[in-house]
Amino acid sequence: MKIATFNINGVKARITALTDWLTESQPDVALLQEIKSVDENFPRELFEDMGYNVETHGQKGFNGVAILSKYPLEDVIRGLPGGEGTGRDGADDAEARYIEATVVGDRAVRISGLYLPNGNPAPGPKFDYKLRWMDRLRARAADLLAAEEPALLAGDYNVIPQEEDAARPDAWREDALFRPESRAAFRRIVNLGFTEAFRARTPGPGHFTFWDYQAGAWNRNDGIRIDHFLLTPQCADLMRDCWIESEVRGREKPSDHVPVWVDLAV
DNA sequence: ATGGTCGCCGAGCGA
User: Three-class SS of residue A6?
Assistant: strand
Handedness of CA A9, A100, A266, A232 (dihedral sign): positive
> In the annotation, is A115 catalytic?
yes
- What's the pLDDT at A88? 52
Query: In the prediction, which pLDDT does A83 show?
Result: 81
Q: What is the pLDDT of residue A92?
A: 63
Tally the domains of chain A.
1
User: Which range marks the domain in which residue A70 is found?
Assistant: 2-264
Q: Please name which of A219, A85, A80 lies closest in space to residue A155, comparing C-alpha atoms.
A: A80
For strand B, is any atom closer than 7 Å to the CB of A13? yes
CB of A36 nearer than 7 A to strand B = yes
Q: Cβ of A126 < 7 Å from strand B?
A: yes
pLDDT in tens, chain A (266 residues): 999 999 999 999 999 999 999 999 999 999 999 999 999 999 999 999 999 999 999 999 999 999 999 999 999 999 999 887 655 554 567 899 999 999 999 999 999 999 999 999 999 999 999 999 999 999 999 999 999 999 999 999 999 999 999 999 999 999 999 999 999 999 999 999 999 999 999 999 999 999 999 999 999 999 999 999 999 999 999 999 999 999 999 999 999 999 999 999 99
- The question of whether A156 is a catalytic residue gets the answer yes
Polymer length of chain A: 266
CB A95 within 8 A of CB A122: no
Whichever domain contains A63, its CATH number is 3.60.10.10
In whole angstroms, B3 C1' to A213 CA is 13
Q: What share of chain A is helix, strand, coil (3-state, %, to 5)?
A: 30, 25, 40
Write down the catalytic residue from A52, A98, A115, A157. Answer: A115
* A155-CA/B12-C1' distance, Å: 28
The runs of H, that is alpha helices, within chain A are 15-25, 44-48, 125-146, 180-190, 197-201, 233-236
